[in-house]
Structure 1
Amino acid sequence: MFWEVFFPPEERGFIQNLFEEALEPPYRSSYEHQWRCRDGGSRLISFTISTYFEENTIQCYSVTGLDVTKLRRMEEELWRYRTDLEEQITQRSVELLDSRTRLAGIVDSAEDAIISVDSKQQITLFNYGAEKTFGYLKNEVEGRHLSMLIPNRFHDTHRKHVQNFGKSGKVSKRMNDRSEIIAKKKDGTEFLAEANISQVTVLGEKIYTVVLRDISERMMFEKRLQESLNEKETLLREIHHRVKNNLQVISSLFTMQKLRTEDPDRLSLIQESQHRIQSMALIHEKIYQSEDLSRVRFDQYIRELVTDIFQSYEVYPGKIELQFQMKPVSLHVDMAIPCALILNELTSNTLKYAFPDDSTGKMLIRIEEKPSKKLHLLFKDNGVGLPDSIEIKNVDSLGLRLVRVLTQQLKGKLELEREAGTSFSFHFPITSP
């Protein structure tokens, strides 16, 4: 028989059964057999047995064999690939679900309102922060148009803004320059909000996400704070004005006292005190006129102060050439007043003693702010100079004692030179209280 020739004994019974199966409709049976080749290898052959009849009598059997070795190997590889792919898909699905769960937790835990809409501006995401901000529950807004959260008068503007943003290609953008928009709560209340919009394309469809924060309370607080600050500035400005007026009253009292005094020494003391008071009054006047109530443009102040002192001592034109070498310098009032008193004393001393009788000369005032955050103040004249017997550390003059004390108060350094007149060089650290 056929199976006895081509098949080993252990398979012959099975092959005989296949031939018998081919006798029953559909008169065909199949079998795959690992066929051994002459070279010692093997091939997987798919056999098909067909029975042919003529007048209900078996005429013959047809046995065809097809080498399916490569086909089965490809199927096995495809099966392994499919199995691996399914495992990866399962793993990625678990990871994606975990990521979505964590993202949902983060989104819902955010205090800001986070709202996503599709290309038709229908709401697809509405977090817990949005529920608190707008007063709607998630299921009340999902699937509805975003315009329900915007006052009617802004519908067209908002729609065009989103459309233009979608065409811009930008990933994110503030809703406008100040990032402030008007939104509407469930009860119809309108409120000021700060918003940022972003876009992403998912499966060919654009998703827009808005992160929004109600800033009504913050703006109200800022308004009240600004009103309070304005009130305090007005009060502080008024205080400076009144201090200046009171100092001028004291200066006027000194003027009246001078009219009743004939003693030259007393007159000199009164005039010196009057100059000190006027130098402080001028500081308060400058601050009152300034936008910054804590600082004064010291270079501008010096010009006016020294000019007033010259006029007070009735220095005739041409006697003393006054030179200024100054750059714009702004000082805090706590530093400006001591520096002003120092300049007042030095200017007064120069006008009284440096150029006796009809002698003429020069006086130089230089001021600049160094990169090291130090103020350099130079006061120099080419007058007769200080006597060698006078030492700043042990001086009897009230004016020079005041200069020394104020320098120490400002933690400054003073250098005195007596060549070709007198030179006072100060270095003060600039502080900002």
Structure 2
Amino acid sequence: MTIDTTKSKEIKDPLEEDTYKTLVNNASEAIFIAQNGMLKLINPATCKITGRTYSELYSTPFLEFVHPEDREAIASNYEKRISGQKAPERYQFRILKSNGDIIWVELSSVAHTWQGHPATVNFLTDITERKAIENALIESEKKYKKIFENIQDIFYQTDLSGTIIEISPSIHRYAGFKREELIGKPVTYVYSNPEKRDALVKAIMEKGEVIDYEVVLKDKFGNEFYTSTNSHLLYDNHGNIIGIEGSLRDISERKKTEIALKESIKQKEILMVELQHRVKNNLGIISSLLSLELSKLKDDYSKEIFLNARNRIFSMSTIYEHLYSSGNLNNVNLSIYLKDLAKMILQTYSLSKGKISLQTALDELYLDLRKTVPLGLILNELITNSIKYAFPHNGDGEIKISLSRHSDKATLHVSDNGKGLPENFDIKKSNGMGLNLVMLLVEQIEGNIDLFNSNGANIVINFRI
């Protein structure tokens, strides 16, 4: 398609040179001459952009193609330029295509004389897509500005020197400061203890960010309030660190709850210590009363019953002694407890039995009372049985205790070098109260028990930690 000059065949075509015609005809922007409100000369791109034919463009006043809301401004600019007045060299407006679509265009226009009369030479570019992007950016800016202005948390930015370069209006809700009062101020201005800022900056520099980092600020009136910040380094387009930005959330209520909870726990710990102390003392009193009655008994059977009862009570009393002395209200060092308990049991029988030595190999393991109490009672029964039955005629012997840990499981192994278990012994069929108690306690700690002879009796108990 070439430039249509049929309207002025008698006039010499100013674009008759082939080079100029090629440039104009192949230009991607619309190029046309306007005179007396009509188009006089147009290139193919004018038809393409406007969606109209040559005939439509030549026969219709060009303002008809302009959106009604923009016509007044376009007419004014055109008249000013024709009359030699100052008019914008470049401006944007909307035009109507033949199919009813509306597109945005940008026009560059210069005054010109055409066939001896004032005219304008115009260059028109379709900027609909660009305009859509610009509008989207404007809407996005409005959206984020609204979010920024209404955000509940406090958003902030500082430069490397710690000067506040941006802070959200929400600071007023928590600290009483207006945004404008703080921009340009050092961020330590709102710190309760300015020296704490150095620790925050150090943490951010080392890790690149901090999450849920506690910061104590002060409001406009000097009152402290607790915040939690998520902050990270701020970079420029070249990857250089230029500051820090992040958000602050008021956690004053959460902090009050934490402080109250800690105080409550502290009070409960005091009560628990007192309770454990009283339990220990009461168990000690019961043990002493049993010992007193034991000294009055004459027959061995009754003495054995009282002695077993006293030792069982003592095994529990020892646990509370360990808790009370260690200051740990929840967990007992099982290795120390079992060793002390074993020594105590051997001392109980030292006057009536032969010389029995104790060997221990105990891994360090901390357990709560739900596991420690049953294990203490189990050890008491097993050692007592070895002392009473493993060494005939009150002979000398050795008892070994080992405790080993394997991931989430542990093994307690008690053995002696005595005469061993009876042939075909089945603990489940035992009539003895002590071994029946052992079986019940093993079930209580969700464990299993294995008995066998190997240079004496061996009892192995596996249980979950």
Does 2:11 align with 1:14? yes
Structure 1 counterpart of 2:14, one-letter code: E
2-side partners of 1:374 and 1:154: how far apart? 48
Q: Does 1:222 align with 2:174?
A: no
Q: Which has the larger radius of gyration?
A: 1
Are positions 1:352 and 2:388 aligned together?
A: yes
- State which of 126, 143, 149 in structure 2 corresponds to 1:102: 143
Q: 2: distance between equivalents of 1:180 and 1:429? A: 38
Query: 2: CA distance between counterparts of 1:116 and 1:363?
Result: 70
Whichever residue aligns with residue 304 of structure 1, its letter is D
415, 440, 443: which one aligns with 1:405: 440
Deviation at 1:114, TM superposition (A): 1.3
Give, in angstroms, the shift of residue 391 of structure 1. 3.1
CA contact (8 A) 2:234 2:241 kept: no
CA drift of 1:273 comes to 0.7
CA contact (8 A) 1:345 1:400 kept: yes
Q: Contact 2:445–2:464 (CA<8 Å) still a contact in 1?
A: yes
CA deviation digits over 1:276-314, x for unaligned, max 9? Answer: 000000011112223431211111111100001111111
Match among 363, 381, 393 for residue 416 of structure 2: 381
Give ranges in structure 1 of 5+ residues lacking alignment.
1-7, 16-30, 35-42, 45-66
| Contact 1:115/1:130 (<8 A) preserved | no
Conservation of the 8 A alpha-carbon contact between 1:116 and 1:126? no
1:249 is matched with 285
Aligned to 1:183: 217
Alignment CA distance shift 1:77-1:315 (3 Å): farther
**Separation in 2, partners of 1:339, 1:105:** 65
Q: Per the alignment, in what secondary structure is the counterpart of residue 255 of structure 1?
A: helix
Contact 2:414 2:460 in 1 (8 A): yes
How far residue 184 of structure 1 moved from its aligned partner, in angstroms, is 3.2
Q: Distance in 2 between matches of 1:427 and 1:161?
A: 48
In structure 1, C-alpha distance between the alignment counterparts of 2:207 and 2:313, rounded to whole Å: 64
1:384 CA displacement: 1.6
Number of positions where the alignment pairs a residue of Structure 1 with one of Structure 2: 368
CA shift, 1:87, in A, is 3.9
Query: Which residue number in structure 1 is paired with residue 299 of structure 2?
Result: 263
Task: Give yes or no for contact 1:414–1:426 (8 Å, CA) kept in 2.
Answer: yes
CA contact (8 A) 2:192 2:218 kept: no
Match of 1:426 in 2: 461
Q: How does 1:102-251 map to 2 (within 5 A)?
A: 102-116=143-157, 121=163, 124-127=166-169, 129-136=170-177, 141=181, 144-147=183-186, 150-151=189-190, 173-174=209-210, 179-195=213-229, 196=231, 198-201=233-236, 209-251=245-287
Amino acid across the alignment from 1:336? T
- TM-score if structure 1 supplies the norm length? 0.72
Bigger mean CA deviation after superposition, 361-370 or 240-249:
361-370
Distance 1:171 1:331 in 2: 36
What corresponds to 2:331 in structure 1? 295
Report the Cα distance in structure 2 between the residues aligned to 1:9 and 1:217, rounded to whole angstroms: 84
> Which deviates more from structure 2 when the two are superposed, residues 253-262 or residues 282-291?
282-291
Residues 283 and 100 (structure 1), Cα distance of their counterparts in 2 relative to 1, 3 Å cut: same
Single out whichever of 230-239 and 93-102 deviates more from structure 2: 93-102
407, 416, 429: which one pairs with 2:451?
416
Q: Say whether the 8 Å CA contact 2:191–2:217 is kept in structure 1.
A: no
1:297/1:157 CA distance change after superposition, 3 Å: closer
CA contact (8 A) 2:355 2:395 kept: yes
Q: Structure 1: which amino acid aligns with 2:11?
A: F
Deviations 1:158-196 (A, max 9, x none): 7x999x99xx9999655xx99444433244433233333
9, 14, 19: which one pairs with 1:32? 14
Identity %: 27
Instruction: Say whether the 8 Å CA contact 2:190–2:219 is kept in structure 1.
Output: no
For residue 384 of structure 1, what is the amino acid of its counterpart? K
